[in-house]
Homo-oligomer: A and B are copies of this chain.
């Protein structure tokens, strides 16, 4: 027997229409690529987005067509998003930080027909124009004055399209499972793979993240999404803010400490979200200038593990609460957040820190499990490592065009590729990437944990740990150290440094000093390259068998 409630498809256009009608005067403030601060409201933004929808329809954009954006966070970028999604086309967010080759690969794989772009990215687009055969048109997110200087054949001016099209467009009216957005994973192994979000998945992600224990924001908040819209939907804030009627402040291309602080103070920002490096830059600027926050109350930090120093600085020096969160492109992206339980909230702040440093707990709508390699569930005891798997209505089911094949296990969980623990309070902590974890005698050793400790040695500039083949134990850890300029050290100095800080059987079988530990494009240690470089290396403990 089916219920008899209304059929009301969960499509994201409804968020902006809601904002226009019920929070119409609430502002969206942007630092424009052209320079000045630009102010608009949800009511205006919706009308302008509908004009762009009509422009796209006039260009022959059909439901399911991919339309890309290559842009910083701004009101215009949001208008492009809703214009695309509202008519059932797919908004493909391009990450300008990718190498041009990867960018071209993604554009071709997605078969993008149109690219909305900021002025910033015209040079790269012009240079590689001939490598993007599916792209018919570029729409430059600028006004006519700036457009006059643009030298890209056939490119259109965003503001001209706004002026010349009617705001009378029909949005929605399609299946809620219709594709809404496309975002490629950064692809440290193999080619980037596309995650195809649906209207339903984005809608549900929005409702979940708007909860008190997740983002905890409401209509009276002023939200600064520093996290880019091309980075997993700005963690959903471009949907959540109109849904709840929060004022938005968009940083455009400037994410340095001074620019961010200026926006926070002049616009009365109460909530922000960004990766740790942004906060590090901001805190440095704060200390250098002696500035204080007047309105900021809470920041969500994710993208990589949050250092304790950041949490403490925000809390102790500025009275701002840090919420550590974890997710991936494949999870829309919110998977967990380190909101304290009632039990932990009663502890003194210092005793809360170990939990605040973990990636946190899942909200209702996200299922997590830890398993071994045979998919057997492992205990939530805070020490047992396992593969972290995740399930829910906004978790990837398949990659675009079937890349990577079947990616869910028998219970329908997606393997995150991370290795994690979950403690008795339900706090998950990422301990390693599955491909980097060292499997020694059937037990797992976290490469990251050892290298984090080794990095603390006063002579170390960088440290990396990889697993190396071993005839008896399958794999054993090898520690690589890049010394600080001018330093010299011995193998034993580093091994002794580790004694008492890690389990005995975690002790690396050898230490190698290298002139350079290679870093990838995102600043993380490139273990794939290290493994290639160390291909011929044999551990001293690996005596030939027989």
Contacts and interface: CB of A to CB of B under 8 A. Distances in A.
Contacts of A412: 6, 8
B211 A218 contact: yes
Interface in A1-53: 1-8, 10, 14-15, 18, 21-23, 25-26
A204 interface: yes
A6 B213 contact: no
A5 B197 contact: yes
A178 B426 contact: no
Given A1-B179, A207-B207, A212-B216, A6 B64 contact: no
B247 A397 contact: no
B391 A8 contact: yes
B396 A4 contact: yes
**Which of A212, A220, A367, A397 neighbours the largest number of chain B CB atoms within 10 Å of its CB?**
A212
A175 interface: yes
A303 interface: no
A196 B196 CA distance: 34
Nearest to A64: B1
Contacts of A8: 391-393, 395, 412
B207 A204 contact: yes
A167 B492 CA distance: 56
A336 to B, nearest CB: 10
A145 to B, nearest CB: 33
Interface in A207-229: 207-208, 210-213, 216-220
Contacts of A217: 212
Chain copies in complex? 2
B6 A395 contact: yes
A22 B341 CA distance: 10
A216 B214 CA distance: 11
A312 B125 CA distance: 62
B22 A199 contact: no
Interface in A358-410: 361-365, 367, 391-400, 408
A211 B213 contact: no
A244 interface: yes
Given A199-B3, A400-B4, A216 B213 contact: no
A201 interface: yes
A371 to B, nearest CB: 15
**Which of A180, A198, A245 neighbours the largest number of chain B CB atoms within 10 Å of its CB?**
A245
Given A211-B244, A220-B342, A2 B177 contact: yes
A546 B212 CA distance: 67
Interface string A51-85: 00000000000011000000000000000000000
A224 B343 CA distance: 19
A208 B212 CA distance: 11
A345 interface: yes
Contacts of A138: none
Interface in A233-251: 243-245, 247
B213 A218 contact: yes
A20 B15 CA distance: 32
Given A210-B212, A244-B211, A3 B179 contact: yes
A247 B341 CA distance: 11
A5 B207 contact: no
Contacts of A206: 364
A244 B211 CA distance: 9
Given A212-B210, A243-B364, A198 B3 contact: yes
Interface of A: 1-8, 10, 14-15, 18, 21-23, 25-26, 63-64, 90, 175, 177-180, 195-201, 204, 206-208, 210-213, 216-220, 243-245, 247, 332, 339-343, 345, 361-365, 367, 391-400, 408, 412, 414, 426
